[in-house]
Amino acid sequence: MKKRKSIFELRFRNILMALGIVLCTALSVAASLLLGKFIDFLAGKPAFDRDTAIYLISILAALVLSIVASIVLAQFLPLKVQLVKSMEYSRGVMNGLLKMSQKNYQSKEKGYYINLVTSSAFTCGDIYGQMNIDLLGNLLCVLLMVCIAAYINPYFALVYLIYIPFFAVLTQKPNKKIASFQKDGLPTQDAFLSSTKKIVEDKRAINVARAEKYYETLYQKRSDKYLSFVTKYRWYSVLATNIPTLLSAFLTAVTIGIAAVLYFNGKTTIGTVFVVFQLSQLLQGPLNRCFEIRIHRSINDVHLERFDEFGEQQSEPSGFEEKYGKRQNLAVFSSFRVFASPEKERLLFGADELTLPKNKLILIKGGNGTGKSTLVNLMTGFTDIGILEGRMELDETLQNAAYLSHPILFADGSFEENMFGEKISPELFEVLGITFQNKSINESGSNLSYGEQQKLALFRVLSADTDVVVLDEPFTNLDQESIDRLSDYIVSLKTKKSIIAIMHSPEWDQFADVILRIENERIWIEQ
C-alpha cells in the first residue's frame, strides 16, 4: 500500500497563525455581542447621549479591528505560507527531475511532469496551509462559538452540537464522489497538456512534414476528452459547495425559531435574538471552511499521491549504478545485444567482445537506424538500461561526458550565458571561426544561422572540463574551412581526452584510433 505524503507540520508559526484566525472570529463575536447589548440599551433610551456614542464607537472599533485582522491574519499571512510552500514543492520536483535518470524520466508523459511542477505543487502548497493553519484555526472558532452559545443559553449550544455532526455526515458523500472523479480524470489533463506542448514546441516541424491535419485531429480528440472531464468535475463541485448553503439556512431558521419562542415567553431580549442570529452566521463560516478544506484535501489527494510516486520514481535505481567505475578501458562489452527499446522487439546490434580504450579518437559508423546514437546513449546513461542484454563495464568519466547532440539547446541571453557555466576557451573562437560572440541569442536560437548554431554547440562541448567528448555529426552545417580547422584541433585533443564521434563522412578516418562499424545487426572494430 502506497504511503501518502505527510502534509502535517506542527510548527510554532502555524499555531500562531491559527490563533490569529481565532482572534479575527473573536473580534467579530465581540462586535455582535456589543451590537446586541446596544439594541437592548436603545430600548429604554429616549435620546442620544454619551453612553450611546460610546457603544457606537466600541462597535465600530470592533468591526474595523475584525476586518483588518481578517485581511492580515486570516488571509494574507496564511496565503504567504501557502505560496512559499508551493514554491518549495515546485523547486523540489524540478531539482529531482533534472537529476533523474533517463529510464525513470521516460516512464511518464511530459504533461505529467508539467502538472507536477505547476498544478500539483501549488495544490499541495494550498493543502499545506489549509491543513496546518486554516483547519486548526477554524476548528477552534467552532469550539469558541459553542462556548459562547452555551453562555447565552444552553438550548443554542445543544442545537449547535446536534447540527455539527449532521453537517459532517451530509457533506461526506459528494466529497468522496468528487475525489474519485478527480483521481480518474487527472491523466486526461496530462495527455491534453502533452499534446499542447508538442504542437507549440514543434510547430515548424509539423508544418514542414505537412502534418497539420493529424495534429488538429489529435488535439480535437484530447481537448474534447479534457472538456468532458472538466465539465463533469465543475458540475459536481457546484452541487457539493451548495449543500453547506442549504444547511446554513436550516440552522439559521432553527436558531431564530428557538430565540423567538424564548423572546415571546419573556426569557430573552430582542438584542439576544439578534446576537443568536449573528452567531449562527458566524458559526457557519468556520464550519463551511472546515468542509471546504476537507473537500479540497480529499479531491486533491491524487496530487499528494503523485508526489509520493515521484519520490519513488526518483529513488528507483536506473540500472547504470553498477556499470560505472574506475576502469582501465573506456568501455568493455561481453556477449551482448542492444535493442531499439526495452521491450526488445527489434535487435539493433550485438557481438561477443568489444573493448574501447581511453584517450583515443573513436569513430562510430553505420547506416541510418543501425543504432549509432543508441550505443552512445547507452554508454553515457541517457537511455533505458533495459535495451541491453549481456555484460557492460563503463568508466566513470562517461557519466560526465560533454555531449554534442541535436536538437541544440539555447538560452535567451548572451553568448556567455549560452555556455551554461562552462569556462570559455578563447582559442576556440578562431578554431570554429566564431564572430557572433557579442550577439544576444534568443531561446530558440532562430536569430543564428544553422552554421552558427552548430558552432555554438561545438564551442560549448569542446570548452567543457570533461575527460570524454561525444560528437554526434560534428560537421553538420559547417563550411569546409571550419571543418579543416576543427579536424586539426581534434587531432591535438585526442591524446588528452576520449573522443567519440558519430560520422558518415571519411574526414577523420585517417586520424581515428578506433573505427566502430554497425551493420546488419552486428558491431565490430574495423582493422
User: What Cα–Cα distance (Å) separates residue 431 from each residue in 280, 417, 438, 467?
Assistant: 81, 20, 17, 20
DSSP assignment string, 125-174: HHHHHIIIIIHHHHHHHHHHHHHHHHHH-HHHHHHHHHHHHHHHHHTHHH
Q: Residue length, the chain? A: 527
Distance CA(24)–CA(136), nearest Å, equals: 14
Q: Using CA atoms, how far apart are residues 182 and 299, in angstroms rounded to an integer?
A: 6
Burial class of 18 by CB neighbour count within 10 A (0 to 12, 13 to 18, 19+)? buried
Is residue 462 very low, low, confident or very high in pLDDT (cuts 50, 70, 90)?
very high
Q: How distant, in Å, are the alpha carbons of 115, 202, 306, 362, 426 from that of 489? A: 45, 35, 49, 15, 13
pLDDT value for 527? 62
What pLDDT, in 10s, does the model give residues 146-169? 998 888 888 888 989 898 888 888
> What is the per-residue pLDDT across 270-301, written as a single tens digit (0 to 9) for each?
888 888 888 888 888 888 888 878 777 776 77
Q: Give the residues across from 356 on adjacent strands.
A: 331
Domains of the chain: 12-315 (1.20.1560.10)
d(CA 239, CA 249) in angstroms, rounded, equals: 16
Residue 80: predicted pLDDT = 87
Contacts of residue 464, Cβ cutoff 8 Å, sequence gap at least 6? 402, 422
Q: How confident is the model at residue 356 (pLDDT cuts 50, 70, 90)?
A: very high
Q: Burial level of 98, CB count in 10 A (0-12/13-18/19+)?
A: exposed
CA 461/CA 401 separation, integer angstroms = 9
**Burial (0-12, 13-18, 19+ Cβ within 10 Å), 367:** exposed
Q: Rounded distance, CA 180 to CA 299, Å?
A: 7
Residue 408 is given by DSSP the state: P
- Kindly state the percentage of the chain with pLDDT values over 90: 24
Distance CA 32, CA 314 (A): 54
| Average of per-residue pLDDT values in the chain | 85
Residues 231-253: what's their mean pLDDT? Answer: 79
